[in-house]
Structure 1
Amino acid sequence: MLSSVATSGECWPAHAFLSAGLLHLRVMTTVAEQTTRASGSLKSGGRVLCAMSGGVDSSVSAALLKEQGFSVIGAMMRFWPDDKRRDTFDTCCSPDAAYEARRVAEQVGVPFYLLDYREQFQRHIVGPFLEEYAAGRTPNPCVNCNTKVKFDELVKKAKLLGCDYVATGHYVKRVVEDGGEVAFHRGDDPRKDQTYFLWGTPRDALPYILFPVGELEKPQVRELAEERGLLTAKKPESQNICFVPGTVKEFVAEYVPQKPGQMRDIRTGEVVGEHLGTQFYTLGQKKGLGLFQSHLVRHVVHLDVASNTVWVGEYEDCLWRTLQAQRPNYLIDLADLPTELDVQVRYRSTPVRARVLRADEHGFELEFAEPQFAVAPGQSAVLYAGPKLLGGGLIADHERSLPA
């Protein structure tokens, strides 16, 4: 059993203490029953690497796993650089959050390790984030973080540590289907469902991932944390991108040079304004355009990085009838992909029906049942059959004819 917290040049003791009064579970349906129902036959007494972010969801996940008889190792991935600004320390995965995660691990009685993932985070998350904005697209860094770090790098680390599973505090259901295949389903709390971020999870990693709070709602999770006296019980949720101090616009401006250009009307070609760089805009945006004729209501319709032009138009000009996605990941056999399914094109948006026009290892093309507004290249198109996550891909640039 690991017994200390390894960091760069230091060790934190991981003394275990639990108040006897905090050992009683009280949930409408016990989490043990939910785990049995949702997860099939897990390895009894298996070893679990529980990713802890310093938030209430991962804290409760670690506690529930410990109470169910798993051998739990708490771990947090260090993403922040040594010069991380003080005003970002309230985000998840910050130095302050690491301290709180360590304290919770002590409360639960499990060892805790701080894992250095700074290089991987810069390579897989921050670098591509800036590159996508520079290319006129709107990235979602949380997708890359889950796909390339948490459920790729961390699963590999877990295997090196002799762990059977990786667990996180995501609101996602782990379901074992009749044939023994593991699938991810939407969590029971529709306001917190996080399957949208997990479409890129390597398919072969699915059997090794657990979601202890996936069948709970947020108030239940906080109640469980309070019963156990966990110090994160009332901690507010972080709403910011963890590596962005301030606004996204300010962060991008710090790294991507400004390049002034023209705003033009998509229908007439008329110059209607000026901009400081295509990286500061996203499809559908109508605020902060600074048009010459300010009474006009216009939306960003297209970002042409090659000509350094921001094209604007009316609401109808932002409607997409089809979608093309690239760099796909399928969580089922491609032959089993239904011809009609649900697709979600941004986090917290309502899934819509779509017909599959093409799907292969290079990408897929969909036709919406109803036109969709401002489908932004760089965001994720995530595929579902009811609550079941089927996979997804990155929304590709939309080809359109432009005025001369």
Structure 2
Amino acid sequence: MKVLAAMSGGVDSAVAAARAAEAGHDVTGIHLALSRNPASYRSGARGCCTIEDANDARRAADVIGIPFYVWDLSERFHADVVEDFMDEYAAGRTPNPCLRCNERIKFAAVLDRALALGFDAVATGHYAQLRTGTDGLVEMHRAADAGKDQSYVLGVLDQQQLAHSLFPLGDTPKPAVRVEAERRGLLVADKPDSHDICFVADGDNAGWLREKLGDRAPNHGGAIVDDATGEELGRHDGTFGFTIGQRKGLRLGVPAPDGRPRFVLDIEPVEGTVRVGPRERLAVSALEADRPRWCGTVPRVLEGPEVTVQLRAHGAEHRARVEVHDGDRVRVELLEHASGIAPGQAAVFYDGTRVVGSATITATTRVVA
């Protein structure tokens, strides 16, 4: 097959490209230039949007012996990922930009261009496994290394995208990937993993949003209030600085009567109100979601002992019953309560290790105390 290997400049994508070439595929490496000004994104070892990363990817391609190109997708990345991130926070929601990048950039813009250029598949360094099911469809399963599993952020991929994807590392523990990289002579063998959000240079999401959103209405300033009494406990300079479940950085001037910490329970961006209360008020028994993306056949109901939902990239699985209404609305009954779930987050549905699909959370039902 003709394979396009997306090379971020990290160890995982380098080994994935090497494995694809060793398997006999005709491999071409590409690095995605996602920042219109690389110096404004990450620096050093913090992320995947730097000039150093592009150079690391090029050197890895040279060692592997494959052609290498840089594709400038900075305008589309800014429109589809960065602007979406800002809009979601401005609306009081909590998005996952990595998931959005996979949906709209790596497995949409890149894959579409790859197919148009005559490539058969795109290979990445993501940790997930692909198998052919009994119905002939391509199934995506969790990675063998549970600690590195990235199936959650890939839950937006549909059948057509999965059919043209390769995840060469899905069956391998991360430590073994580093050992392999060293054996292959790849200089990125010891390069630290990227963390946080690639386009937030210092990892300070709230500070970055404050700078970018500025005085954008209706998020400039408001009250932090007690959810039970309505008492004003403090002021803030933008709801974009908060997410449901947050404990730190609230700067409340009035302690709770029982001395226990308070958590963000609700965000009302129009009024600019942030509601806080005790941890137990964060418990959620059900949720509503829209914009579903299915990896295969669209289900009507998902239920059974193996059906779970994951609500954060590195969060726990929760047993659940999932109902799909009119093809575009999803209701999830959580058989095990979750905590601190925010609109804008992705709910990814599993049947055992198989990823069934995902949807974007629009509302939650709190457990009645």
TM-score, normalised relative to structure 2: 0.92
- 2:350 alignment partner AA: Y
CA–CA distance in structure 2, aligned partners of residues 283 and 218 of structure 1? 32
- Say which SS state the counterpart of residue 174 (structure 1) adopts: strand
- Higher gyration radius (CA): 1
Does the CA-based 8 Å contact 1:48-1:167 persist in structure 2?
yes
Deviation string, structure 1 residues 295-330 (Cα, Å, up to 9, x no partner): 452110000112110011111211111111111111
Q: Do the aligned partners of residues 337 and 357 (structure 1) sit closer, same or farther apart at CA in structure 2, a change above 3 Å counting?
A: closer
SS of residue paired to 2:363:
coil
Contact 2:318 2:337 in 1 (8 A): no
Structure 1, residues 281-301: CA drift from partner, whole Å, max 9, x if none? 010111111112234521100
Q: Could you tell me which of 319, 332, 343 is aligned with 2:309? A: 343
Could you tell me which residue of structure 2 aligns to residue 149 of structure 1? 105
Provide, for residues 41-60 of structure 1, a one-character-per-residue CA deviation record: whole Å limited to 9, x for no partner. Answer: xxxxx110000000111101
Partner of 2:337: 371
Q: Does 1:315 align with 2:279?
A: yes
- Kindly indicate whether the alpha-carbon contact (under 8 Å) linking 2:41 and 2:49 is maintained by their aligned counterparts in 1: no
Alignment of 1:194-343 (within 5 A): 194-246=150-202, 247-257=204-214, 259-294=220-255, 295-335=259-299, 337-340=301-304, 341-343=307-309
Q: Which of residues 347, 353, 368 is equivalent to 1:387?
A: 353
Residue in 2 that maps onto 1:17: none
Do residues 132 (structure 1) and 83 (structure 2) align?
no
- CA distance in 2 between counterparts of 1:156 and 1:337 reads 31
Aligned partners of 1:152 and 1:201 also within 8 Å: no
Give the distance between the partners of 2:211 and 2:268, measured in 1 at CA.
Answer: 21
Deviation, 1:349, is 0.8
Q: Is the 8 A contact 2:292 2:358 kept in 1?
A: yes
Instruction: Name the CA shift for 1:356/1:306 in 2 (closer, same or farther; >3 Å).
Output: same
Identity %: 39
Aligned residues: 355
Q: Residues 89 and 95 of structure 1 are in contact (CA less than 8 Å); yes or no, is this contact kept in structure 2? A: no
2:165 and 2:104 map into 1 onto residues whose CA distance is: 14
Distance across 1 between alignment mates of 2:336 and 2:135? 35
Q: TM-score, normalised by structure 1?
A: 0.85
The one-character-per-residue Cα deviations of 1:82-112 (angstroms, maximum 9, x if unpaired) are: 3633753532132110001001101000000
Q: Which runs of 4+ in 1 moved over 6 A?
A: none
Distance 1:366 1:106, change over 3 A: same
Unaligned runs of 5+ in 2: none
List aligned pairs for 1:184-203, cutoff 5 A.
184-203=140-159
Candidates 30, 51, 56, aligned match of 1:100: 56
Relative to 1, partners in 2 of residues 1:88 and 1:397: Cα closer, same or farther, differing over 3 Å?
A: farther
* Alpha-carbon distance in structure 2 between the residues aligned to 1:105 and 1:222: 16
Aligned counterparts, 1:100-119, within 5 A: 100-119=56-75
Q: SS at 2:302's partner residue?
A: coil
Gaps of 5+ in 1: 1-45
Q: Distance in 1 between matches of 2:295 and 2:196?
A: 29
Counterparts of 1:86 and 1:147 in 2: how far apart (Å)?
21
